[in-house]
Amino acid sequence: MALVDEFDLSEPLREGVMPGVDAMLRALDAEPGLSPEGRAAAIGLFRDNLRRLAAIDGDRHRHPEIAEVVIDRPVFILGLPRCGTSLLHALIGADPGVRTPMSWEVANPSPPPEAATFANDPRAQAFDDYVAATFVGKWADMLKAHPIGAWIPQECGMILETSFQSLNPLTMFRIPDYYPWYLEQDSRFAYTVHKMFLQHLAWRNPRDRWVLKVQEHANHLPSLFAIYPDAMLVQPHRDPVTVQASICRLFEVLRSVAIPDQDRAALGQELLHLWHDGQVRMMAYRKAHPYKPVYDMRYKDLVADPVRAVQDVYAFADIPFTPETERGVRGWLADNPAGKHGKHVYALSDYGLTEDDVRAVYGDYIDAYREYI
């Protein structure tokens, strides 16, 4: 495959990514609404993912000891989009005693970051310069919906992307033919790559614990626990009716360059089911594995008292809540007031949806977690 051949990957990684690369390229070819700019952006994204994977692969071969780094009891935050998962991750990321992957180091991981130079690594400024240059025009609204910056914890989606077994490309490109393929995969390869990233980032800049986040983990919990058998899960909950329009608006902005003429009603139907599929899988897994450590929390409680919410997560995960932790959390809240980049405006009706539509699809989730929403 020509695209993969552009990069120096070890044979196991090459074999691992090829099915996903092929599935994504076939899905792109089948999408008539994709603009030439959108297709070029997709191929550029795929190349960037291969570049990052090849970079950590090369460092790992030069420094085999990276593979010995222990990832102890990682905490994964997952749930529906717009349920406070990003807020919770950012608050925990402000704790100097806990490791979250910073956006700049996931974007440009090689050479492995080092504790002594971490705070002043020039790759951080380069990432912020990229954000300032990129999130303008059609993408300016993105900053209203989701914070982006070098020192904001990055979601696991940008790591899983490099395995080519990830939902992340669906946020920017409408490639529905890829989604059924993704759901059918045994994604242990994706989580093997994920662990490679964590070991890489922690090698010379370790902490005792990792806290990680992305919604799509719900789709593949058997694979997650196969690679991280001591993982712990935190799931904030919120009424799906209150989040669905926000999800649609976020995707509309993200896809605006690749797909100039978007069908809002079709987008509403697509996203109405996309995230519910993950919750169905999550609920089934939890029912079959009731002993797995999961902490359910209310979005309302997180917003009402963020410091207490972090304390409760730390108590569940057996992470010390220190004075430095509290200073970090309160400092982040002071620096990032609600609506810092402007208000995001949206409504269900913009996407051909009603409250009854959402409740009809999410009735199982609402019944299961009613006390938390």
pLDDT score of 373 more than 90: yes
CA distance 327 to 348: 38
> For 143-175, how does the pLDDT look when each residue is reduced to its tens digit (9 = 90+)?
665 678 999 999 999 999 999 999 999 888 888
Reported as a pLDDT band with limits 50, 70 and 90, residue 38 is confident
Between CA 227 and CA 198 the distance in angstroms is: 12
- Residue 35 has what pLDDT? 85
- pLDDT number for residue 36: 87
The pLDDT score that the predictor gives to residue 95 is: 97
C-alpha atoms less than 13 angstroms from C-alpha of 149 in its C-beta half-sphere: 10
Q: Which of 345, 186, 123, 167 is nearest to 270 (CA)?
A: 167
**298, β-bridge pairs:** 237
pLDDT tops 90 at residue 68: yes
Query: Helices 11-29 and 36-62: crossing angle, nearest 10°?
Result: 170
- Specify the higher pLDDT residue, 150 or 341: 150
Q: Where are the alpha helices (DSSP H) in the chain?
A: 2-5, 11-29, 36-62, 85-93, 103-107, 122-134, 142-145, 157-160, 168-172, 178-184, 188-202, 221-227, 240-254, 264-288, 299-304, 306-317, 323-335, 355-361, 363-368
Ramachandran sector of residue 176 (left: φ over 0; alpha: ψ -120 to 50; beta: rest): alpha
Q: Which DSSP category does 196 fall into? A: H
In sequence order, the 6+-apart residues with CB closer than 8 A to the CB of 224 are 76, 191, 217, 231
Q: Average pLDDT, stretch 57-68?
A: 98
The residue to which tokens 């089934």 are assigned: 284
- Look up residue 115 and give its amino acid: A
Average pLDDT over every residue of 210-237: 97
Adjacency order of strands within the sheet including 294-298:
211-213, 75-77, 232-237, 294-298
- Residue ranges and CATH numbers for the domains of the chain are 2-372 (3.40.50.300)
Weakest mean pLDDT among 84-88, 89-93, 138-142? 138-142
Of 199-213, 215-229, 240-254, least confident by mean pLDDT is: 240-254
3-state secondary structure of 349: helix
Reading phi first (left if > 0) and then psi (alpha if -120 to 50, else beta), residue 164 is in left
Q: Per-residue pLDDT for 240 more than 60?
A: yes
Q: Which residues are registered as beta bridge partners of 235?
A: 296
pLDDT at 1 over 80: no
* Average pLDDT rounded to a whole number, residues 14-31: 94
pLDDT, residue 339, reads: 57
| pLDDT of 39 above 70 | yes
Burial of 357 (0-12, 13-18, 19+ CB in 10 A): middle
Average pLDDT over residues 326-350: 82
The pLDDT tens digits of the residues spanning 246-266 come to: 899 988 988 887 888 899 999
Other Cβ atoms less than 10 A from the Cβ of 148: the count is 18
Residue 249 near residue 145, CB atoms below 8 Å: yes
- Give me the residue label for tokens 């925990």: 92
Record the pTM: 0.94
Which distant-in-sequence residues (6+ apart) come within 8 Å of 304 by Cβ?
none
Distance of CA 206 to the CA centre of its chain: 21
Question: What are the tokens at 354?
Answer: 């009603």
Instruction: Give the sign of the dihedral formed by CA 175, CA 179, CA 180, CA 185.
Output: positive
pLDDT level of residue 138 (50, 70, 90 thresholds): low
Average pLDDT over residues 42-47: 94
What is the pLDDT at residue 336? 87
Encode pLDDT of 179-207 as tens digits.
Answer: 999 999 999 999 999 999 999 999 999 99
Question: In three state form, how does the secondary structure of 28-93 look?
Answer: HHCCCCCCHHHHHHHHHHHHHHHHHHHHHHHHHHHCHHHHHCCCCCCEEECCCCCCCHHHHHHHHH
CA–CA separation, 158 vs 160, rounded Å?
A: 6
85 and 91 in contact (C-beta within 8 Å)? no
Does the pLDDT of residue 4 top 60, yes or no? yes
- Find the angle CA(138)-CA(141)-CA(144) to the nearest 5 degrees: 165
| Whole-number percent of the chain with pLDDT over 70 | 94
* Collapsed DSSP state (helix, strand, coil) of residue 233: strand
Comparing C-alpha atoms, which of 144, 354, 335, 146 is closest to residue 241?
Answer: 354
